[in-house]
Amino acid sequence: MFDTQFVNRINALLAEKGIEKRTFYSDCGITSSAFSQWATGKTTPREKKLREIAEYLGVTFEYLINEKEETPTAFTDDGLTDCLEILRERPDTRALVHAGRDMTPEQVEKVAAFMRSIRG
DSSP string, the chain: ---THHHHHHHHHHHHHT--HHHHHHHHT--HHHHHHHHHTS----HHHHHHHHHHHTS-HHHHHSS------S--HHHHHHHHHHHHH-TT-TTSEETTEEPPHHHHHHHHHHHHHT--
The per-residue pLDDT string of the chain (120 residues; one tens digit each, 9 = 90 and over) reads 566 788 989 999 999 889 999 999 999 999 999 999 999 989 989 999 999 998 899 888 888 887 554 444 444 555 566 666 666 666 555 455 555 566 667 776 777 777 666 654
Give the pLDDT score at 2.
60
Give the pLDDT score at 5.
85
Give the pLDDT score at 62.
85
Query: What CATH superfamily classification does 5-65 receive?
Result: lambda repressor-like DNA-binding domains (1.10.260.40)
What pTM value is reported for the model?
Answer: 0.55
Q: Where along the chain do its domains lie?
A: 5-65, 77-117
Q: How far is CA 16 from CA 13, 51, 55, 119, in A?
A: 5, 19, 15, 22
